Structure 1
Amino acid sequence: MHWLLDAWIGTQTWLFETFVSPVLFHFNLMEWFDDAFDAVEFFMLGVVQILVIALLMRPLEKRRPMENVKNRRLPAVDRVYTVLSKLGVVPLVVFVIAYPITNEIELQMRGLGIAPPRIESLMPWLHDHPLVTFLIYFALYDFAAYWIHRAQHGFSWWWALHSLHHSQREVTAWTDDRNHVLDSLLVTLVLVIFSQSVGVQPGDYVSILMVGRLIESWSHANVDLGFGRIGDRLLVGPRFHRLHHALGTPAEPRIYDHNYALVFPLWDMLFGTARYDRKARPMGVEDPAIDADNDLGWLGQQVAGFRRFAAAILPRLAG
């Protein structure tokens, strides 16, 4: 495996020295040297994720679909979301806004003498078990993500943004990245602050994020495959998460208020939001105004989502 690691680092270094470093030097931005080098790796990981979706998940969707795609035009905009997200364009925007906020919070915590201990400090034996340490941090991250996801559905102003993700009638592996930029910013802020508070280090956070996002892409795939009776209760798969995107009906209003977990169904089972069945349901939302997202492109969807957000939050500010 050493040759693979060497090739990865070599590619990262070549991309950085060839394309990124000259730009930083030209615009006198060398203080961003380390962050930019890490950003190149983020970009490379994004390319890998896109290839996994395109070369593995999409063929499975065509071979073993859970439901036949009725309108192949609709998933096209989700591919735009995936490219913008996985290749770092949207994360860069979020980072530029979120970094000063989270950095200030970290400085204030240090000024107050608050330095959350890492799990290894509480359990020194973990120093010899990095995989176990990673899984513990990963579980903590997923626990926080579960409650953030419930908040996205529970607060009307947040649902106004998050509903963009649910408006897709043809859910595929590309749909995971279909999010409003403001929604992504809010989620990132909360998760980074939570991660700082429990001692997750930046390197661990990036790894957790990448593994989690790949699993989330798989859970959105239109694939009639599962992990078995026990496995489906250990890891979120397409069958479990597809119910979360189901269209609400009079018989099952807001059926999508179930199966919130991103990676581990344990949280849904513990807090009473898990629902297991293999009933075929159409995807989307029952609100015609939100369903209209399907007639828009990326920019139009961003504008429509922001308008819903403004309409939801302005009455609260006025009151």
Structure 2
Amino acid sequence: MFHEIVAQLDNMVSALQTLLYIDVVQPFFYRFGLMGYDEDTYDALYWVIIGVLEIIITYLTLRPLEALRPVEQWKDRKALRADVIYTWIAKLGIINIAFFFLLQPLFDHWQSLISIYDIPNIDIDSLWPGVTDQPIVSFLIYLVVLDFAGYWYHRWQHRFGVWWELHAVHHSQQQMSLWNDDRNHFLDDIIQAAFFAAISLFIGVQPTQFVVLVAVSNFMQSV
């Protein structure tokens, strides 16, 4: 039952991805001579769609709670505008997409070195045949591993001076709201994207799984 629901949701996202690609992206790229980015942008659309869904679900879940029992009241909700902008940038995967475009050659080279020199990685799917190769089980394991890595990442952000100077942006909000979680320094987001991409590669996470893992993890943090 669960697998059928997930499959249906994935089919819906894929159909929307194809629709946007054909009717919006391709005509725009053709018009401005950007067809060289055509294929990569199709993959990036998956990030964007998942990000939009994540923002909608987060808002529908938390906004009623915030209205019912707010931490504090503001005379003008325009004070939250910066945090809303940060949220859209982070949740739409813009940082991850930029990371993909700028560092993809280095990432491909790294994967080649892993293969050439037979550098070991962890194949979680094969740890316990019949159990860990179940999609929901492997997904939950990945989620726990990345959440644990995120815990240490956050501790390091607070411990090391230069890193803290970047992370301090996250703690610079003047108003507490459902939008606070994503205010981060751009460079810190780049470091974080690289950190979690490397760990995901090491434990065998597939690209589409990585997108959903990031979305679920971000939603949990917002809650």
**Short-chain TM bin:** 0.7 to 0.9
Please state how far the C-alpha of 1:8 moved relative to its aligned partner. Answer: 3.4
Query: What is the one-letter code of the residue matched to 1:176?
Result: D
Alignment of 1:1-319 (within 5 A): 1=5, 6-24=11-29, 26-29=33-36, 33=39, 35-69=40-74, 72-126=77-131, 129-218=134-223
**For 2:178 and 2:49, how far apart are their aligned partners in 1?**
19
Instruction: State the TM-score, normalized to the length of structure 2.
Output: 0.85
Which runs of 5 or more residues in structure 2 are unaligned?
A: none
Q: Which of 40-49 and 17-26 deviates more?
A: 17-26
Q: What is the RMSD of the two structures over their aligned residues, measured on CA atoms?
A: 2.3
TM-superposed deviation, 1:24? 4.8
**1:62 and 1:205 mapped to 2: Cα distance?**
32
User: Contact 1:118 / 1:198 at 8 angstroms: preserved in 2?
Assistant: yes
Deviation at 1:11, TM superposition (A): 1.9
Question: Which has the larger displacement, 183-192 or 39-48?
Answer: 39-48
| One-letter amino acid of the counterpart of residue 41, structure 1 | Y
Q: Which of 1 and 2 has higher RCO (CA within 8 Å, sep 6+)?
A: 2
The alpha-carbon distance between structure 1 residues 3 and 122, as it changes in their structure 2 partners (threshold 3 A), is closer
Relative to 1, partners in 2 of residues 1:110 and 1:87: Cα closer, same or farther, differing over 3 Å?
A: same
Q: For residues 118-150 of structure 1, what are the alpha-carbon distances to aligned partners after superposition, in whole Å with 9 as ceiling and x for unaligned? A: 112222223652211111111111111111111
- CA shift, 1:72, in A, is 3.7
The answer to whether the 8 A contact 1:94-1:181 is kept is no
Distance in 1 between the 2:210 and 2:93 partners? Answer: 16
Q: Equivalents in 2 of 1:124, 1:172: separation in Å?
A: 44
Q: Which has the higher helix share?
A: 2
CA contact (8 A) 1:53 1:174 kept: no
Residue 23 of structure 1: how far off its partner (Å): 4.3
Question: Percent sequence identity over matched residues?
Answer: 35
> What is the alpha-carbon distance in structure 2 between the residues aligned to residue 155 and residue 130 of structure 1?
37
For the structure 1 residues 148 and 101, does the alpha-carbon distance in structure 2 shift closer, same or farther, using more than 3 Å as the test? farther
In the TM superposition, what whole-angstrom CA distance separates every residue of 1:243-276 from its partner, at most 9, and x where no partner exists?
xxxxxxxxxxxxxxxxxxxxxxxxxxxxxxxxxx
Give the SS at the match of 1:92: helix
Q: Distance in 1 between matches of 2:97 and 2:24?
A: 17
Give the Å deviation of 1:153. Answer: 0.6
When Rg is computed on C-alpha atoms for both structures, the one with the higher figure is 1
Aligned positions, number: 216
Q: How far off is 1:163 after superposition?
A: 0.3
